[in-house]
Structure 1
Amino acid sequence: MQVSTAMSIGCAASSPLTQTRVAKRDRHVACGAPRPSRAAKKRQPLSSFVALAPQQLLRNTFPAGCSRSAGSARTAHTVAATADGLGICEYDDTLLAFKDHLSYRWERFQQTLASIEQEAGGLAAFAQGYEHMGFTTAEDGTITYREWLPAAQAVSLIGDFNGWDGGRHPMDRGEGGIWSITLPAGSIPHSSRVKLHALKDTGEWVDRVPAWITWARAEPGVMGAKYDGIYWDPPPEQRFGGFQAARPDRPQTLRIYEAHVGMSSTEAKVNSYAEFTRDVLPRIKAAGYNCVQLMAVMEHSYYASFGYHVTSPFAVSSRSGTPEELKALVERAHELGLHVLLDVVHSHISNNIDDGLNGFDFGQHEGDNYFLSGERGYHWLWDSRLYNYDNREVQRYLLSNLRWWMDEYNFDGFRFDGVTSMLYHHHGLQMEFTGNYEEYFGTQTNVDAVVYLMLASQLGQELRPDGPPTMIAEDVSGMPALCRPVAEGGVGFDYRLAMSVPDMWISMLEDQSDEEWSMNRIVSVMCNRRRGVEQTIAYPESHDQSIVGDKTIAFWLIDQEMYTGMADDGTPGSMVVARGVALHQMIRLITLGLGGEGYLNFMGNEFGHPEWIDFPRDGNDWNYDKCRRRFDLADDGLLRYKHLLHWDVAMHALEEATGFASDDHLLVSSQHEEDKVIVFERGDLVFVFNFHPCNTYEEYKIGVRDGGRYKVCLDSDAYEFAGEGRVPHDWAYFSEPAGSPGGEGNFNNRCATITLQTVPARTVQVYEKLLEGEAEVDSPCWVAVRSALDA
């Protein structure tokens, strides 16, 4: 028996039996190939849930034995409805130790809900604040404007329509500090500027952008121009024609394309909703994504905030166009079958006084304010203001904001930004979560914010009972039951982002060569979640890793050769580029296959976008050159970027054909440190990753759960993906029995084995079992992949 010539790196092999194999040096990637320089900064420690060994986290969800019928199987995600908020304890009895806290937050939720129902007749009606607040138009055309500002001594409406004369249209103070004025029909022209003119108790008059304004704009071309509210009431011929396309059902596996409309052009400019609709939506569909998440839609005066320092929550970002153009974008996405999510920011708001909601803080007490007072109302790291979630008018404002985006723009759901900051009074700052449940439930928990999030989830269920909006939480803490239904006592999100996964990849790329990578670490971090109970969205990188000062995965791998070594001129290319392309492909697929129940990619990273994002600012002379997406690089047949794009298309096509990424069956049968090989099953597929930089294995045995014939259905070594074509696609591998799982002499606790002809270094292959009567020429899934590539 010949054994690998590679040195043993890290811990001992995790497989119970030594592999029989022949190892050889790979022909296109040399051992010890140079890699990009490391950044000087040190990343924060990884956050995790509960530190469990992979075998504790991963179990076969099928009944005992190895037989199964063809097709995927999924666990029924039942709801343990509760009258006391403790239904979540049926899934996690550790929570029983915190039942007093859970019962308290449930009582707070029920009390708030009952109070809202008494006041407004129900949560759905309560969340229609935009039909009463801000600008509304009656059937006879009269215009009424209302604003909540209890701290004001006097208020008037000003704008182009009255020559900005604060004395012409004073408003009347009503119950609860709501000011109002009614004007004759036609008094305010469409698309004209408006503001609130208010007197503070200090005697100072100030002008403010209306809190409920639906469009706001700064004067184009004027540096430092302040934002004005824009009265938006277009004539019929300028209005969007109405939503006709049906909203697509939520996909079984969300494959999310995270997109920023403004930077989506290949040109150095701010892109428009119309151009995104025409140019980018078809790309998203063609690449195999089934969901688009739109960032930076809520108006934000500071472009470089990436849309996270919102100034006007109800307003569409005017940099990219009008409300009507955004509606057309959503409609076209639905026509293409794309689920559309809004990146919503309710965790904080810009501290900008002149241009946004923070201008309504006159120093009044919290009962009359959108925000908490003093240090409690200020996020020192983000330099932003924090909402008072226990205030009834704030609840009305934020819940109405969610309904506004659903009703007016037909969004299918939300990605909630900064949820960790909401959940805790310490906002997750200077806090390393270890998974100890005492970190989640106690005096540090912001129950007011938790109750608001429960109300938001409940609102979605009531508004769309047959297809509630998708709710995704950006939470790094791992709070238990965040993604369980409100009816059980959970917070009600559908998914959380698997934020430790990109941290792991960047940490390994920054601090280690891939020769040093630990297979156990990859598996442990990928699988460290409450699988079967709470769903996660996995991603190798997002917009966070693309911002100037950080690096994308492609840049970590290929560095400066992104500029000089990506020509596909018929030559093998450099070892750095070959290594980078190979690992980029493997990282993305193992994240999709092992890391969660859904997947996310930031715009451009599907083809290894070569540069970081640097918004126009004073430090770069207000340059837009690095605030765009170079889609033209992926379209250029003479560049290697196309291979990365083709791989992305292929893995999504395979997922679409099989649904593996959301299948309940997930089992890691081998994580071999010496071989640098990970083998796992997801759904009906078997994934074989060889991370070894040098060793290609021949006659390599792996375990499978079913006897039968297996064929490769995806292969990163295929020519289509810049590979060398060493894995035969016309072979069918016949299984051998392996005895009873766990029994003496059994291989990797599986019922059967197959021996693969070759497993090339730095490649991944996916195998599917052929059903009776299926031809052996090409696997059905490989045919689906080929069809997607040909399209």
Structure 2
Amino acid sequence: MQSGNPEAYSRFTDFDIYLFRAGKHQRLYEKFGSHVVEHNGVVGTYFSVWAPSARYVSVIGNFNGWNKGSHPLAVRWDSSGIWEVFIPNTGRGETYKYFIVNENGRELEKGDPYAHLWEVPPHTASVVWDTYYEWNDQEWMTTRKEKNALNAPISVYEVHLSSWRRDPSDPDRELSYGEIADALVPYVQEMGFTHVEFMPIMQYPYAPSWGYQITGYYAPSSRFGTPQDFMALVEKLHQAGIGVLLDWVPSHFPGDAHGLYEFDGSHLYEHPDPRKGYHPDWKSYIFNYSRPEVRSFLLSNALFWLDRCHADGLRVDAVASMLYLDYSRNAGEWEPNMFGGRENLEVISLLKEINEAVYSEFPDVQTIAEESTAFPGVSRPVFTGGLGFGMKWMMGWMNDTLRYFERDPAFRKFHQDNLTFSTVYAFTENFMLPLSHDEVVYGKQSLVGKMPGDEWQRFANLRLLFSYMFTHSGSKLLFMGGEFGQTSEWKFDTSLDWHLLEFAPHKGIAACVKALNQLYKNEPAMYERSYTADGFEWIDTSDRENSIITYARKGDRPEETLLIVLNMTPVPRADYRIGVPSAGSYQEIFNSDAKEFYGSGIGNQEPLASEESAWHGRPQSIRLNVPPLGAIVLKISAES
């Protein structure tokens, strides 16, 4: 109910207001924003906005000639700071903003924080729209629990929509959601990835931010089409059996004049203390996590993408920057918490609440934290004291692995601990192994560009890196372009270099990644126990001179055990002996040096019978050929 107009239309109940002000509302997108409704027999649009420091709010748009005085909102009587109005004969497609005059007389024009569609940048108005869509992905939605489970293979292809592929006839033109769907879905199917992760697709005004500076948290980017166009993309991926993860950014937002910053002339969404409210790295603003209404905004937003857009999970960006009050700050630039520590207690409680709500409402999805520190229990349940995420990016593995592979093979024997150290902590969290966009920008070179040696060695090293990644415990994430050996650094405004697939080395990388995805999905030992120590066993890490390491991956059944041998030098090793878990005949089922991968073809065509010759602390052993800069995977044959 609005003051001065007791018959006015409102979508808010007293319980909604209570939940909003308690920081517990999970469906604010059903209340705030613009909604086409019928009221007293008239079709129009209901607008509502939170602006507690405003003394005047109106809706301006094309429908009223951007007249600041013609369509004022009324503030609710309940001191919630919510303003509302029903405007007859307006509807879907109307562009609008809120004109706000704050208590000091400052005038602002703001987009709608809950809008589902915005104008295409550089235009900044919101658009009256809805999220109605007749979904046809029921088969996926009813079975995705098995596809997203921690004992299922999860191989993620990370995609930046603007630069994955562009119009070949006009390289400056970004593809639409529909055009992306037509090309992306069959490609991901062919390559064998189980999931796609989209870098932020929420409305963002500044393309060089890659989507990480968001102004429209409840709207898919209008650069590529409407919300329904985006939903159709998700639906097509689901119909192809591919899961969809979304990059979500609750850590900061930009200071654009039409966005959340100083929304009603006060520090409404951002923390008023710059020690907590300003991010020095990204020159952006940090949400006020202690304010209940802001907590409701973020909680509702996380659920919105799972509810209305059928996302299968959220990868939460920059969690470490949220958790620590001193993140990227010098002494004196931050204030300890009430206990004298550096942890942001409001963030910790909020992340727990969001994860609890997500898994309560959508138990068949995953939340994944990009968290780079040793903060304990990130991917452990809230009831055990954890933050409640389903998975956590394994940043230590990524850094150690890339540092190792960048070394000349002649010196790798001195740094073998870089590879073996990961298993010291690998099972303290549910880890995802990321080779993400962050590793191929800002002078870091492409993945294949990081590899040492001549052309053949660089591509062999990359195949070896991918083989190590896919056979290591944990789920996988690979940024677009890496799967075919993109040679240049990633550029946000340029298509990937798809023409490289005309050349044998790049074809070989793509074929190798495709084979690794199939191996990963077909062999239970690769995924059934990815997050427990009993799914991984070192066979030997002592052969530093030859830079060869061997290990086993284990599933629920002993006969599924796989042996992995990695040769980190360009020297092939013939008649190389390794200890094996049990007597039998071992068959090579993958070789990164295969000729179809642009390798030299050194391997083991025939089954390898074990011998009663003790080796590596085991009574049985086999002798095999180990290819140069190569990885082989062996499996005991069914006849053994």
Place the TM-score, normalised by the shorter chain, in its bin: 0.7 to 0.9
Separation of aligned partners in 2, 1:117 and 1:528: 48
* Alpha-carbon distance, 1:654 to partner: 0.7
Say which SS state the counterpart of residue 57 (structure 2) adopts: strand
Q: Distance in 2 between matches of 1:262 and 1:457?
A: 29
1:241-640 correspondence to structure 2 within 5 Å: 241-245=134-138, 246-247=140-141, 248-249=144-145, 250-251=148-149, 252-266=152-166, 267=168, 268=171, 269-352=173-256, 354-360=257-263, 362-364=265-267, 369-427=269-327, 443-465=341-363, 467=364, 469-508=365-404, 512-518=407-413, 520-531=416-427, 533-539=428-434, 541-557=435-451, 576-594=454-472, 596-615=473-492, 624=493, 627-634=494-501, 636=502, 638-640=503-505
Whether 1:654 aligns to 2:523 is no
Number of the residue aligned with 2:639: 772
Aligned twin of 2:558? none
Task: Map Cα deviations across residues 223-242 of structure 1 (whole Å, 9 max, x no partner).
Answer: xx4411111149xxxx6432
Residue 95 (structure 2) aligned to one of 185, 193, 210: 193
In the aligned structure 2, how far is the partner of 1:586 from the partner of 1:258? 20
1:707 counterpart letter in structure 2: A
Letter in 1 for 2:79: G
Question: C-alpha offsets along residues 252-290 of structure 1, whole Å, 9 cap, x if unaligned?
Answer: 121011011111215423222111110012111211110
- 2:538 corresponds in structure 1 to 668
How far apart are 1:201 and its partner, in Å? 2.8
Matched letter for residue 145 of structure 1? F
Render the CA deviation track for 1:659-703: whole Å, top value 9, x for unaligned.
33333421111121101101010121101111122x322211101
Partner residue of 1:644 out of 501, 509, 522: 509
- Greater Cα shift, 195-204 or 449-458: 195-204
Q: Following the alignment from structure 1 to structure 2, what is the Cα–Cα distance between the partners of residues 578 and 708?
A: 35
One-letter amino acid matched to 2:316:
F
Q: 1:429 to 1:253 in 2, by over 3 A?
A: farther
Inter-partner Cα distance in structure 1 for 2:525 and 2:361: 31
Sort the Cα spacing of 1:122 and 1:341 in 2 relative to 1 into closer, same or farther, 3 A: farther
Look up the match of 1:737: 612
Q: CA deviation at 1:550?
A: 2.1
CA distance in 2, matches of 1:711, 1:146: 66
**Are the counterparts in 2 of residues 666 and 682 from structure 1 also a CA contact under 8 Å?**
yes
Task: Indicate conservation of the 8 Å contact 2:101/2:264, yes or no.
Answer: no
Alignment counterpart, residue 710 of structure 1, candidates 586, 604, 621: 586
8 Å CA contact 2:56–2:100 kept in 1: the answer is: yes
> Structure 1 CA distance, aligned partners of 2:576 and 2:631?
13
Q: Is the 8 A contact 2:44 2:91 kept in 1?
A: no
> Is 720-729 or 651-660 further displaced after alignment?
720-729
Whole-Å Cα distance in 2 between the matches of residues 698 and 488 of structure 1? 50
Q: Which amino acid aligns with 2:84?
A: I
SS in 1 for 2:468: helix
How far apart in 2 are the matches of 1:130 and 1:603? Answer: 32
Unaligned runs of 5+ in 2: 1-14, 555-560
Which whole-Å CA distance do the structure 1 matches of 2:397 and 2:426 have between them?
15
> How many angstroms does 1:481 deviate by?
0.8
Are residues 614 and 232 of structure 1, via their aligned partners in 2, closer, same or farther at CA, if it must alter by over 3 Å?
A: same
Identity in percent: 26
Q: CA deviation at 1:483?
A: 0.7
Partner of 1:79: none
Number of the residue aligned with 2:27: 128
Contiguous gaps of at least 5 residues in structure 1: 1-115, 220-224, 432-437, 559-574, 616-623, 739-745, 774-791
Q: Which amino acid aligns with 1:232?
A: W
Indicate the RMSD between aligned Cα atoms, in angstroms: 2.6
Alpha-carbon shift at residue 120 of structure 1 (Å): 3.7
Deviation, structure 1 residue 494: 1.1
For residues 157-193 of structure 1, what are the alpha-carbon distances to aligned partners after superposition, in whole Å with 9 as ceiling and x for unaligned? 11111111011111111233433333255x3232221
Secondary structure of the residue that 1:161 maps to in structure 2?
helix
How is 1:4-403 mapped onto 2 (pairs within 5 angstroms)? 119-120=18-19, 126-138=25-37, 140=39, 141-174=43-76, 175-185=78-88, 187-218=89-120, 225-233=122-130, 240-245=133-138, 246-247=140-141, 248-249=144-145, 250-251=148-149, 252-266=152-166, 267=168, 268=171, 269-352=173-256, 354-360=257-263, 362-364=265-267, 369-403=269-303
Q: Give TM-score scaled by structure 1 length.
A: 0.71
Q: Is the 8 A contact 1:261 1:294 kept in 2?
A: yes
Contact 1:263 1:271 in 2 (8 A): no
CA distance in structure 2 between the aligned counterparts of 1:661 and 1:350, rounded to whole angstroms: 41
1:428 to 1:476, Cα distance in 2 relative to 1, 3 A: farther
Q: Does 1:680 align with 2:551?
A: yes
What is the deviation of 1:333? 0.8
Cα deviation digits, residues 560-600 of structure 1 (max 9, x gap):
xxxxxxxxxxxxxxx71110111000011112212x41000
CA displacement 1:585-636 (0-9 Å, x = unmatched): 0011112212x41000001111111211234xxxxxxxx4xx21123422x2
Counterpart in 2 of 1:67?
none
**Letter of the structure 2 residue corresponding to residue 338 of structure 1:** I
Structure 1 position 751, deviation (Å): 4.2
Residue 752 (structure 1) aligns with: 620
The CA distance in 2 between the partners of 1:605 and 1:387, in whole Å, is 34
**Following TM superposition, by how much is the alpha carbon of 1:311 offset from its aligned partner in structure 2, in angstroms?**
1.4
Give the deviation of 1:704 after TM superposition.
1.1
User: Structure 2 vs 1, CA of residues 302 and 525 (structure 1 numbering), >3 Å: closer, same or farther?
Assistant: farther
Q: Do the aligned residues in 2 keep the contact of 1:146 with 1:178 (CA within 8 Å)? A: no
Post-superposition offset of 1:136:
2.7
Could you list the per-position Cα deviations for residues 21-40 of structure 1 after superposition, in whole angstroms to 9, with x for gaps in the alignment? xxxxxxxxxxxxxxxxxxxx
Q: Which amino acid aligns with 1:755?
A: R
Contact map agreement 2:196 2:245 (CA 8 A) in 1: yes
Q: Distance in 2 between matches of 1:379 and 1:325?
A: 33
Distance, in Å, in 2 between the alignment partners of 1:449 and 1:363 is 22
Check the 8 A contact 1:347/1:422 in 2, yes or no: yes
Is the CA contact (8 Å cut-off) linking 2:198 and 2:246 kept in structure 1?
A: yes
Distance in 1 of aligned mates of 2:130 and 2:550: 59
